[in-house]
Chain A
Amino acid sequence: MIVMKNICKTYKVAKRNAGFKEAARSFFRREYENVQALDHISFTVQDGETVGYIGPNGAGKSTTIKILSGILTPDSGECLVDGRTPWKNRIDHVAQIGVVFGQRSQLWWDVPVIDSFELLRDIYSVPHAAYRDNLDELTELLDLGELLRTPARQLSLGQRMRCELAASLLHSPKILFLDEPTIGLDAVSKIAVREFIVKRNQTHNTTVLLTTHDMQDIEAITKRIILIGKGRLLLDGSLEDIRRGGEDIDKTVAELYRSYEI
């Protein structure tokens, strides 16, 4: 179970106007602006739930994922994931979660994917028998087959994303955080990724928290939606709550963003 209570996080961002003169000036006297990335965010996610975490760019989605996965420490607030505080028991915590960053690879560039997987097996200390079972299952579901023997640098984005998903699940985490897993993928790959996530949730009861800008991801995968904007939690409900009338989900969400002025 994931519990977030009044989590706040502020970043200090250096600001300056354009131009060389301004750059030189800021070298000596830098002006900072505090950006409130998260402003008293609270929500609870039950085991086995699938949650879509949406909001415009810069809303604080990635920051939330980073706090939940133990990368960032919030300024204030409480957060418990299966009873652990991510930034305090980092090593215990991350052994039980899987994280996929759509924009960053976790595979070694120059070696076949299977080599990366075996390294992960050792990093997570997965027993050999369990590793083999997991790998067989993931290979079949994600149709990895030949990909395993290909160096990561020669994979297409869609192929790579399937491998990334497998890489994050080799240690059978109970919770999976996905940060824009379908970004830049073609239609076929998107569908493959979505179907896989749904299946994983059904067969293993894996809790899934997913950020995305693609509303079809949300329709296909999640039952619940959390909307944030400018660091504040604006809406926590089901897809139907968001739809309310409009048929085109993209338009409805865009309208929603506008109505909240985010």
Chain B
Amino acid sequence: MNSKNDMNTPSRHKVSALRLYGHYLSIHLRSVMQYKASFLMTAFGQFLVSFNMFLGIYFMFDRFGSVEGFSYSEVLLCFSVMLTEYSLGECIARGFDTFDGMVRRGEFDRVLTRPRHEILQVLGHKIELSRFGKLAQAIVMFAYGVTHSGVTWNAGRMLTVFLMLLGGTALFCGIFLIYAVLCFYTLEGLEFMNILTDGAREYGKYPISIYGKRMMQFCTFIIPYALVQYYPLLYLIGRSDNFLYGLLPLLALLFLIPCYLLWKVGVRHYRSTGS
């Protein structure tokens, strides 16, 4: 026997989750550099894609002036925040979005044979750096939206925007997580889940109130989009003085709890594939 035995003592220092995630990120960076041209083109394409959505809003307001009492600059703020949340969520949780492939190829078996949390490994497994093109575009829109919104910025409102980004990103991650859980049962990706992700990004351009009361209830109590979009927006643009509206995005973080519990059930249900 040689010196190997002392490694298995429980006292060995555990690499932190954040550092490990950083290591995954670095591997993805190194992989991407192998295919430079492909990466740059994809990232550029991603950058352009969401620009279309902005044009949609622009021409709409060019014609109508306002939507349900919301002005162009207000809608722009709403849209840019939602887009940033979505893009951040997609960058972080791309592993959930492509989880069906992981299950079908049996790669999740490998995840289960490693001594780290499954979620950390799944997130690290797929970090699509080209999505950062989309994120870059979202940040450009965000800067544009914030500066053209006509909002008089104070500490409270800045905090609210930050919380919106935090809550919204968490919300999208949660929905991607549910999507991944369903893959345990169907072994296939379920496109209908895109209604909740791509759909939310698309419809979330406008304050949710314009879609009517039913939609509002759904987006407040079931999938809490309104908590990160409509209510804090009212506070931002000065339609409501209630600072609590600005803090509501924090409540949306609770959405992650049922998502996580579903994941736990899903993992227990997991049936590996093939030999």
User: Chain A residues in contact with chain B, CB under 8 A?
Assistant: 11, 57, 61-62, 66, 69-73, 90-92, 94-97, 99, 101, 103-104, 106, 108-111, 115-116, 118-119, 122-127, 130, 133-134, 151, 171-172, 174, 179-180, 204-205
Pairwise interchain contact A92-B6, C-beta atoms closer than 8 A: no
Chain B 1-18 interface residues, beta-carbon cutoff 8 Å to A: 1-8, 12-15
Known: A104-B106, A123-B20. 19 other contacts (CB 8 A): A70-B112, A71-B109, A94-B115, A96-B8, A103-B275, A104-B110, A108-B27, A110-B35, A115-B27, A116-B27, A122-B20, A123-B15, A130-B3, A130-B4, A133-B3, A134-B4, A171-B7, A172-B8, A204-B1
**CB <8 Å contact, A130 and B1:** no
Residues of B within 8 A of A124 (CB): 114-115
In the complex the two chains form, what is the Cα distance from A94 to B111 in whole Å?
10
Given the known interface contacts A122-B20, A125-B13, A127-B12, the answer about A172 and B115 at a Cβ–Cβ threshold of 8 Å is no
Closest chain A residue to B269 by CB distance? A73
Contact A130-B6, Cβ < 8 Å, known A103-B275, A125-B13, A151-B34: yes
Contacts of A101 in B (CB 8 A): 106, 109-110
Q: Is the beta-carbon distance between A91 and B27 smaller than 8 angstroms? A: no
Cβ of B264 < 8 Å from any Cβ of A?
no
A-B contact count (CB 8 A): 105
Kindly list chain B residues whose C-beta atoms are within 8 Å of the C-beta of A171.
Answer: 7
Please measure, in the bound complex, the distance between the C-alpha atom of A111 and the C-alpha atom of B31, giving whole angstroms.
6
User: Nearest Cβ distance between residue B142 and chain A, in whole angstroms?
Assistant: 32
B203 within 8 A of A: no
Indicate which residue in B5, B12, B272 contacts A125 across the interface (CB closer than 8 Å).
Answer: B12
Residues of B within 8 A of A133 (CB): 2-4
